[in-house]
Amino acid sequence: MTCPEKEPYGDDIYTEPDADPDTLSNLGPLAPLAGVWEGPGGKDEHPVAGGIERDDFVERYELQPIDPQTNGPQLLYGLRYHTHIVKPGEIETFHDQVGYWLWEPATQTVILTLGIPRGQVLMAGGTAAPDATEFDVDAAVGSEVYGILSNPFLDQMFRTLSFRMTVTVHRDSTWSYEEEAMLAIPDRDEPFSHIDRNTLTRVGAPTPNPLAQPTAGDEGAGIGNRRSKGGTLP
Ligand code: HEM
């Protein structure tokens, strides 16, 4: 009998499924996010000594499809992203963030990996229908799946207890997010809600993933095929 935890993967944890090389056609609820986006109307709330500071920000968010990824029987399609944020009219980086948005069709799961140059990484997850126009991911400190890791200073002084992000895709092809990190700060009684919101408008189309580009030739579908021919994955 198959353990519930093994669903839908089965007992063979090594054999890889065939994947469709065209990632852009397999992104489920992430599909509308592919491309290059700008959002001049961002709103940030962050902690400062003795209180809260609110800032407007300008964002450029790029999300590009990657080749399908497998962990044995687990198949993920995804977007590699980079978002760069400045205050209006400024050059200096206000916030920078990189990672992947991943979609697992078999479990209808969305995964966000997030790294920021404060010395902090997290992975958040959630479930969504393939055609969902709104979905959430979340993470909690101390969890070994969908967790948060901070450098020692941040862990002591600005400990991120939890993170959640809601993405909403609008009818006019724009999309919005709201992300909230709950920070435990020693001089405060209650966790601080560090919250950021923005709406993004498309300024550029996505570049097809390497396997979906014409130069991928007629090697046929599937990363399994490439591997068996001794190819390396981009
Ligand atoms: C649009 C997105 C974001 C913007 C604009 C932003 C901006 C800021 C700003 C201005 C500060 C104040 C400290 C400073 O000036 O250096 C801050 C603090 C902090 N942010 Fe963010 N942030 C964003 C997203 C995030 C995310 C996603 C995380 C991770 C979950 C995060 C974690 C932190 C932490 C731990 C601090 C406390 C460190 C400190 O205050 O020095 N931020 N953020």
Q: Is residue 216 part of a domain?
A: no
Distance 210 CA to ligand 1 centre (A): 34
Q: Which atom of ligand 1 is nearest to the CA of 122?
A: 30
Each residue's pLDDT expressed in tens, for the chain with a length of 234 residues: 334 456 899 999 999 999 999 999 999 999 999 999 999 999 999 999 989 999 999 999 999 999 999 999 999 999 999 999 999 999 999 999 999 999 999 999 999 999 999 999 999 999 999 999 999 999 999 999 999 999 999 999 999 999 999 999 999 989 999 999 999 999 999 999 999 999 999 999 999 999 999 887 655 444 544 443 333 344
Is 19 near ligand 1, meaning CB less than 6 Å away? Answer: no
Summarised one tens digit per residue, pLDDT across range 28-44 is 999 999 999 999 999 99
Distance 122 CA to ligand 1 centre (A): 13
Q: Measuring from atom 28 of ligand 1, which residue has the nearest CA?
A: 181
Q: What is the pLDDT at residue 7?
A: 83
Is 120 near ligand 1, meaning CB less than 6 Å away? Answer: yes
Domain enclosing residue 157, as ranges: 43-206
Q: Measuring from atom 9 of ligand 1, which residue has the nearest CA?
A: 46
Summarised one tens digit per residue, pLDDT across range 173-212 is 899 999 999 999 999 999 999 999 999 999 999 999 999 9
Distance 101 CA to ligand 1 centre (A): 20
Q: Which atom of ligand 1 is nearest to the CA of 85?
A: 5
- The span from the CA of 143 to the CA of 122, in Å, is 10
Is 221 near ligand 1, meaning CB less than 6 Å away? Answer: no
Q: What is the pLDDT at residue 219?
A: 53
Q: Is residue 11 part of a domain?
A: no
Q: What is the pLDDT at residue 234?
A: 44
Number of structural domains the chain divides into: 1
Q: What is the pLDDT at residue 216?
A: 77
Q: Is residue 195 part of a domain?
A: yes
Is 160 near ligand 1, meaning CB less than 6 Å away? Answer: yes
Q: Is residue 81 part of a domain?
A: yes
The CATH number given to whatever domain includes residue 121 is 2.40.128.20
Q: What is the pLDDT at residue 218?
A: 57
Is 195 near ligand 1, meaning CB less than 6 Å away? Answer: no
Give 72's contacts (C-beta < 8 A, 6+ positions apart): 9, 12, 13, 14, 15, 16
Q: What is the pLDDT at residue 91?
A: 98
Q: Is residue 36 part of a domain?
A: no
Q: Is residue 5 part of a domain?
A: no
Q: Is residue 215 part of a domain?
A: no
Distance 150 CA to ligand 1 centre (A): 12
- The span from the CA of 120 to the CA of 118, in Å, is 6
Q: Is residue 18 part of a domain?
A: no
- The span from the CA of 165 to the CA of 64, in Å, is 20
Beta strand segments in the chain, E: 35-48, 51-71, 74-86, 93-104, 109-116, 120-127, 134-140, 148-150, 159-169, 175-184, 192-204
pTM over 0.85: yes
Q: What is the pLDDT at residue 5?
A: 59
Is 103 near ligand 1, meaning CB less than 6 Å away? Answer: no
